[in-house]
Structure 1
Amino acid sequence: MQLFRMLSVFSLAAVGLACGHSHAHDEHEVVARDSIKIAPGPSDTQIQFAPLPSTADPVTINTTLGYFVGDLGGGVHWVTDGSYSNMFLVSTHGVIVVDAPPTIGHKLLYAIGNTTHLPVTHLVYSHFHADHIGGASLFNASHPTIIAHAETFSLLASPRDPLRPLPHVTFEDKYTVRVGNQTLELSYHGPNHTPGNLFMYAPAQRIALLIDVVFPGWAPFAELGIASFVPGLTAAHDVLLSFDFDVFVAGHVGRLGTKQDVLLQKKYIEDLHDSCASAINGGFNVTTAIGPTVAANKGNVWAEFKAYLRVAAQTCADNTTSRWLGVLGAADVFAFENAYRMVDSLRVEYDVLGPFSVS
């Protein structure tokens, strides 16, 4: 923190971000970004974000039903409400369901019931997050065997949530679900979005599932999909591409994905990584950028470092976003949050420390 201490002699007037852009960022802007995602100004409800490209086009949702069921062939179906999605496999002896998003909720029961009269015998948890399995208790009546990774069991064990019943079967590396004529292969390759987040693959139908990592046609949700381990999230793209699939179910957005979607987001993540590393490694003048914060907050190292992180993230977001507008949907909406998460990851998970590295 010695670098910040030295900055305390600067006046509030001596601020300006040297990041190669035509616009300057003043200290008011840095503070404003606590509540404004991209730039100072009105609330998000008033910001006009860039138009969505055709890559983000969803399937058409029946407004009366409120959901869409797509037949992927070979007894496999996917369900979406336009924001969340999941999948189920109809076998000769019962139904395997992957996840139970609460936003789809009872509509998932209707989707399955309108497809087959066979009971749900197995329920797979992709990971422990409630927004993907918070509807699991809706299947309690059919008493399905719940399968998940051991990490997911541990994360659900305390505190207990009756809406997410504990798994009955857990595993560490690989597990194959076989019900009648259907096979679903589960594997774990380390933490990415969360610990315990599974790669899932239906080999007969050449369908892959990985939840909350790739967002087909869209830039990632905030903080890289609220990723718990960014290096694992980055590596997950190559792991996913090692599967021989034609169709990809992502758990979010109202469309399916392909290998091309995975490749495209991999390039986005790599670009974000490189842009944020450049920002940390001299992409802006630290003394000029945070001098006013130091001067206004004597001895408050949290305030000093917060200003540094936010300017680094904004520099990265500014440098990255323009390349992805019109390529991925909503590339501007969470540009700052995604850059902020990458900056933090680079500092603590990759050892890219810029002015705070060992000299």
Structure 2
Amino acid sequence: MAKTHRFAYSALLVGLLSACSTTSNAVEDAPSTVNATYVTQSHTKALAPGEKVADLFQLNMNTPYVLQKITEHTYWYESGFYATIFYVGDKGVMLFDPLEMRAEPILKSIRTVTDKPVTTIVYSHDHADHIAATGQLLDMLKATQSEDPEIIASQATATKMELLKSGLVKPTKVISWPNDSFKFENLDVELHGFQHAAHTDDHSAWLLVQEKVLHAPDLLNSDQPPFWNFAGSERFTFLEQNLETANALNWDYFNGGHGNIGSHADFAFHLKFIEELKSAVGKAMGEVPFGFGVEVDKINAHTVMLPAWYGEIAKRATDELRPKYGKYYGFETAVPANAEMVAEYLYSYR
């Protein structure tokens, strides 16, 4: 990413965080997509499988961060609609994905529950919005601990960072792609990389085996329909396979990096939604003639015709799904863009 683009994105993120720290009107949250049981956030009381944090949108808008105990050792953090997890062991803390511009509140949340050193950081994938706070976090930790944390990433992530000349902090320990594991104290941590990934080519899921917690940012947003462009995925093509692969693993709690704490019911909802979106898009593709809405006698380039076709297909598919799904979080913003991605997929692969 060029420097100007990086600065523009940083400015965008600053604006988002600023907006989320401004008191919001008390608007009722969108309904649960999975009929979830909601509980008041607590960093001392663990969740039962399937429970979710209540009033999450308002908490993101009006509080510095959300901190929820998931299991005996694992905690879930979210601020500005970005989430991650950390594990408190006998000797130290393992943190996944130091979220961009959130080093200070993440460390504050860790210190809420323990004064043990942060000894391990894990990168899920090479997207700056999820790992860019590492450098700031390392600087902050120097005041309280003598050794820097080990930084673990998959070979796919490490290679990608080198190829793209990443300016972010590099991993100090690289494990094999697509499947490998390591020990953090007495905890087994398994890497399950998606050999054919939708979100990005180094996208992966990380299983905290004994905790039964799965961490896979940008795979899905729990308690919501799929986010815009399927959580910023580079392609739709393999998304269903990725969801099915992750869903088949042995876990009770899921962190998708955005949205609420997830369960297998969220995966079932997403797979059903995608099935119905594909059906609606396919139907619209059969109804809408290529170049719909384009006045052909007023153009001097054919390139307007494909986007116009996809746009009308997406509109009709969104209209078809609205009676069933329109009440859910972010439907109007996300579905048209997702429908266009599905149209491109169905047009390309037959």
Structure 1 residue 245 corresponds to structure 2 residue 247: no
Q: Distance in 1 between matches of 2:169 and 2:322?
A: 37
Aligned equivalent of 2:116: 118
Whether the 8 Å contact between 1:101 and 1:132 is mirrored in structure 2 is yes
Aligned residue runs from structure 1 range 45-64, under 5 A: 52-55=29-32, 58-59=55-56, 61=59
Deviation at 1:278, TM superposition (A): 2.0
Aligned residue runs from structure 1 range 183-222, under 5 A: 183-190=188-195, 191-222=197-228
Structure 1 residue 283 corresponds to structure 2 residue 287: yes
Aligned equivalent of 1:68: 66
Aligned equivalent of 2:263: 258
The 3-state SS of whatever aligns with 2:67 is strand
The 3 A distance-change label for structure 1 pair 97 and 331 is: same
Aligned equivalent of 1:297: 299
Aligned residues: 295
Deviation at 1:63, TM superposition (A): 8.3
Whether the 8 Å contact between 1:97 and 1:122 is mirrored in structure 2 is yes
Deviation at 1:82, TM superposition (A): 4.8
Aligned residue runs from structure 1 range 135-150, under 5 A: 135-140=133-138, 141=142, 142-150=147-155
Per-residue deviation, residues 51-91 of structure 1 (Å, max 9, x unmatched):
85221754474989601211112211111115011001111
The 3-state SS of whatever aligns with 1:155 is helix
Aligned residue runs from structure 1 range 1-359, under 5 A: 52-55=29-32, 58-59=55-56, 61=59, 66-140=64-138, 141=142, 142-166=147-171, 168-190=173-195, 191-253=197-259, 255-280=260-285, 282-286=286-290, 289-292=292-295, 294-298=296-300, 300-326=301-327, 328-348=328-348, 350-351=349-350
Deviation at 1:103, TM superposition (A): 4.4
The 3 A distance-change label for structure 1 pair 62 and 85 is: closer
Per-residue deviation, residues 170-190 of structure 1 (Å, max 9, x unmatched):
321222231222222211132
Whether the 8 Å contact between 2:294 and 2:308 is mirrored in structure 1 is no
Specify every segment of 5 or more residues in structure 2 that has no aligned partner in the other structure, as ranges. 1-26, 34-53
Q: Distance in 2 between matches of 1:151 and 1:321?
A: 39
Q: Distance in 2 between matches of 1:125 and 1:155?
A: 12
Whether the 8 Å contact between 1:199 and 1:240 is mirrored in structure 2 is yes
The 3 A distance-change label for structure 1 pair 301 and 338 is: same
Aligned equivalent of 2:10: none
Deviation at 1:302, TM superposition (A): 0.7
Q: Distance in 1 between matches of 2:343 and 2:109?
A: 42
Deviation at 1:226, TM superposition (A): 1.7
Q: Distance in 1 between matches of 2:323 and 2:129?
A: 31
Deviation at 1:286, TM superposition (A): 3.6
Deviation at 1:105, TM superposition (A): 2.7
Deviation at 1:151, TM superposition (A): 2.1
The 3-state SS of whatever aligns with 1:231 is coil
Deviation at 1:155, TM superposition (A): 2.2
Greater than 4 Å deviation, 4+ residue runs = 62-65
Whether the 8 Å contact between 2:177 and 2:193 is mirrored in structure 1 is yes
Q: Distance in 2 between matches of 1:291 and 1:71?
A: 54
Q: Distance in 2 between matches of 1:291 and 1:70?
A: 51
Q: Distance in 1 between matches of 2:164 and 2:178?
A: 25
TM-score by length of 1: 0.75
Whether the 8 Å contact between 1:127 and 1:198 is mirrored in structure 2 is yes
TM-score by length of 2: 0.77
The 3-state SS of whatever aligns with 2:331 is coil
Whether the 8 Å contact between 2:294 and 2:304 is mirrored in structure 1 is no
Whether the 8 Å contact between 1:70 and 1:77 is mirrored in structure 2 is yes
Q: Distance in 2 between matches of 1:309 and 1:207?
A: 38
Specify every segment of 5 or more residues in structure 1 that has no aligned partner in the other structure, as ranges. 1-49, 352-359
Corresponding letter in the other structure for 2:199: H
| Greater gyration radius | 1
Aligned residues with identical type, % of pairs? 21
Q: Distance in 2 between matches of 1:291 and 1:76?
A: 54
Deviation at 1:291, TM superposition (A): 4.6
The 3 A distance-change label for structure 1 pair 95 and 325 is: same
Deviation at 1:135, TM superposition (A): 1.0
Deviation at 1:167, TM superposition (A): 5.0
The 3 A distance-change label for structure 1 pair 65 and 318 is: closer
Q: Distance in 2 between matches of 1:302 and 1:296?
A: 13
Per-residue deviation, residues 5-60 of structure 1 (Å, max 9, x unmatched):
xxxxxxxxxxxxxxxxxxxxxxxxxxxxxxxxxxxxxxxxxxxxx98522175447
CA-based RMSD: 2.4
Corresponding letter in the other structure for 1:244: N
Q: Distance in 2 between matches of 1:122 and 1:188?
A: 20
